[in-house]
Amino acid sequence: VILCLIAKNSSKPFLCFGLSLVLAGAIGNAYDRMNLGYVVDFLDFHAFNYHWPAFNVADICICVGAFIVIIWEFFRSK
């Protein structure tokens, strides 16, 4: 689905970049899940007695890509 959206919107590089990040993160997590049976989370932060959920580079790609797509939707000309 994401590849189809990228192909359909190839003239919109900002959107394609965001979708590519989401796809890359999904592939990274799927690769870990298939080869290891679990996703390796290695960034774990604690501050002021608060613990953020552990995450990895693939999770960062998915979040940043989704944020880019949302921003693009808000600011695109209709």
32 catalytic per annotation: no
pLDDT band for 13, please (50, 70, 90 cuts).
very high
The model's pLDDT over 14-36, given as tens digits with 9 standing for 90+, comes to 999 999 999 999 999 999 999 99
Q: How far apart are CA 21 and CA 17, in angstroms?
A: 6
Full domain range(s) for residue 20: 2-8+15-75
Structure confidence at residue 64 (pLDDT): 96
The number of C-alpha atoms within 13 Å of 44 and in the hemisphere containing its C-beta is 4
Among residues 41, 56, 63, 64, the one annotated as catalytic is 41
Q: Which two tokens stand for residue 11?
A: 């003239």
Among residues 5, 59, 63, 72, the one annotated as catalytic is 59
59 catalytic per annotation: yes
**Total structural domains in the chain?**
1
The model's pLDDT over 35-48, given as tens digits with 9 standing for 90+, comes to 998 888 887 888 88
DSSP 41-74: --B--EETTEEPPPB-HHHHHHHHHHHHHHHHHH
Structure confidence at residue 78 (pLDDT): 66
Q: How far apart are CA 66 and CA 15, in angstroms?
A: 10
